[in-house]
Structure 1
Amino acid sequence: MIYRSKAPLRIGLAGGGTDVSPYSDLYGGAILNATISLYARASIEPLTENKVIFESADRRESLSYDAVYPLPLDGKLDILKGVVNRIFKDYGAFPSGFRLTTYVDAPPGSGLGTSSTLVVGVVGAFAEWLKLPLGEYDLAHLAYSIEREDLQQAGGKQDQYAATFGGVNFMEFYAGDKVIVNPLRIKDVYLHELENNLVLFYTSTSRLSSSIISEQQKNVTDKNDDSIAAMHHLKEQAVMMKEALLRGTIDKIGEILDYGFEQKKKMAKGISNSQLDEIYEAARKAGASGGKISGAGGGGFMIFYCPKNTRFAVVDALNKFGGDVKRYHFTNNGVQTWSI
């Protein structure tokens, strides 16, 4: 038998950064995101030999260990080993050795939640194999705990919940790791229009989000008024985005994105840079009414809202920067698992 999973990546539309502690613990956070047809995939193949083999197909890396736990965290595919170690710790010995193969449809550091989505996918594959009793909130929180507590990787909470639940969600974040996922019932015509008008552009650069997030966290701890005020505004932006989607005032989304991007740049240094600003201005001149950097910032993907039929001129303008316009569709499903 082979046990498989796929978990969707996400586009963060509003509120990004307010899911990060300590801001969410002190003030409560709110984010609106939507999953798309790019995935993190995982497959587990039980082995007769007592080995653990990792194959990261997209990164072209492979590792092999004797099945002695915990596996060493040495900077090589630690995110996969972190999941294995936690599953062993919480649920006991594995039935056999195994080969874990993974693939992500977007590069690491791209701002679409790749690392967290991969953790969700891998946990999902183990849940399929071992028949683990994990509901949606349980799976998302376990994935969050592995990343933030076991592996000590800085970041927020939205990605794990987006990948687990799927669809368009308005999420609320509170102290004590409390998360409330509110699925939004958006009319198909509004989603079709948003998908048609929202251009997803990979800048061909990646970034280490943890450094930006760490500065954001320090700004809250140090009571940096400008940074905290910006986060308050981003939380308001999430509500504005929710209302625009539910009411069908889709062409307001560009303005809402632009407002949020200006606020986001105030949260920490390095969220934007001269290259990203140049790309943003070129898209605006070509007809985009607004946009943002996906994820923590500093590189990776950007999104642009292009009203009417301006997307074609915007894509032409973006092509001059040597990046890649990525085609996608919005998806309704979160992590899915099966065996064959």
Structure 2
Amino acid sequence: MIITRSPLRISLGGGGTDLPSYYREHGGFLVAGALDKYVYLTLHRTFVPDLIVKYSKLERVPTAAQLEHPIIREAFALLGMDGRSLELTSMADIPGGTGLGSSGSFTTALLKVLHAANKHLISPAELAEQACHIEIDKLGEPIGKQDQYIAAIGGITAFTFHQDGRVEYRPVKITEETLFNLEDNLLLFFTGYSRSASAILKDQNDKSKQNNQAMLDHLHFTKDLGHQSLAALESSNLDEFARLMDVHWQRKKSRSTGMSNARINEWYDYARAHGALGGKLIGAGGGGFLMFYAADKTRLRHAMREKGLQEVRFRFDFEGTKVVTQN
């Protein structure tokens, strides 16, 4: 049996500028952090000729080409595997559709387990590019490259997306004390809403392709916030980092009515009044997790508990997508 895991992620500044429709014309930049919350894939050989795949559904097919699940079908095709006599199962610490990049984490964990089955070593960057190729090029999803890259690489990482498609990345130069403060004072709360990122990102993608000036101005502004967020983290100015999160969120939710709703706005305002210096909704918008940087984390926890929101505590993951077990 082979088991792989791939971390989920949070965006720390500049999110949205990683879509090809934007960076191919203007270049993109963002900062992201990998979490110690994971998507897991297990693969083992069976004594039946079919391929058995277990996710939210169960599929049993003669070959991988007949799978309904598009990402799994394309991953087997990319590696030239028919899947016969294999059983593949996926699990996750947190469900999909919650803004933590689960699709990119799933795809990188899947490719990693298939490469491991073939006894093939693959670099994190190559793994990320293969995952992007499947999701963006083969399946046409209107998404960016952030999720696949941060899942494959891990850590707290700054990414530059070049117009020619190249992705440069480096670890954020953060002190140990700042890292501990960031982990202690960044709080995640589940809103109870799940949504499809593709539907929300399609609007951004379409408008970017049409050179919609309002959308381009928003993304230019967001990219600049990404650079400012990096500077705040590297200078250990976490109060400024929190302020920039709030600026980003206020700008983002003004862009589209689908970004938020009355309840999310109420929770956000309540958090700001009860110990949060700044925050935002993680991911494309519309649901998922609210993230806050707390000046008073105990007060904020109590306030969000009063509102019925469940907290997910986390630390950052610095290993990226990896093989956990192979025997």
Q: TM-score range by the shorter chain?
A: over 0.9
2:73 maps to 1:87:
no
State the match for 2:306 in structure 1: 320
State the match for 1:50 in structure 2: 49
TM-score (norm 2): 0.95
Instruction: Please state how far the C-alpha of 1:45 moved relative to its aligned partner.
Output: 0.4
2:113 maps to 1:118:
no
Post-superposition CA distance 1:31-85 (Å, at most 9, x none): 10111110010111012322111112xx3x3211112x42243xxx333333223
**Which of 71, 95, 99 is matched with 2:66 structurally?**
71
**Superposition RMSD on alpha carbons, in Å?**
1.6
| AA of the residue aligned to 1:79 | I
State the match for 2:4 in structure 1: 5
Instruction: Please state how far the C-alpha of 1:163 moved relative to its aligned partner.
Output: 0.5
Identity in percent:
29
Counterpart contact for 2:61–2:67, Cα < 8 Å: no
State the match for 2:315 in structure 1: 329
In 2 relative to 1, CA 179–18 (structure 1 residues): closer, same or farther, beyond 3 Å? same
Q: Distance in 1 between matches of 2:73 and 2:187?
A: 35
Post-superposition CA distance 1:173-212 (Å, at most 9, x none): 1223211111223111101001111111111110111111
Instruction: Please state how far the C-alpha of 1:267 moved relative to its aligned partner.
Output: 4.6
Counterpart contact for 2:59–2:67, Cα < 8 Å: no
**Which of 143, 154, 170 is matched with 1:182 structurally?**
170
Post-superposition CA distance 1:239-288 (Å, at most 9, x none): 11111111111221210101111232355441122221111111101121
Instruction: Please state how far the C-alpha of 1:124 moved relative to its aligned partner.
Output: 0.6
2:58 maps to 1:62:
yes
Q: Distance in 2 between matches of 1:152 and 1:50?
A: 32
In 2 relative to 1, CA 267–222 (structure 1 residues): closer, same or farther, beyond 3 Å? farther
Q: Distance in 2 between matches of 1:34 and 1:222?
A: 31
Q: Distance in 2 between matches of 1:151 and 1:301?
A: 26
Counterpart contact for 2:6–2:321, Cα < 8 Å: yes
TM-score (norm 1): 0.91
Three-state SS of the structure 2 residue aligned to 1:169 is strand
| AA of the residue aligned to 1:33 | A
Three-state SS of the structure 2 residue aligned to 1:39 is strand
Structure 2 gaps, min length 5: none
Structure 1 gaps, min length 5: none
Instruction: Please state how far the C-alpha of 1:143 moved relative to its aligned partner.
Output: 0.6
State the match for 1:283 in structure 2: 271
Counterpart contact for 1:227–1:266, Cα < 8 Å: no
In 2 relative to 1, CA 295–113 (structure 1 residues): closer, same or farther, beyond 3 Å? same
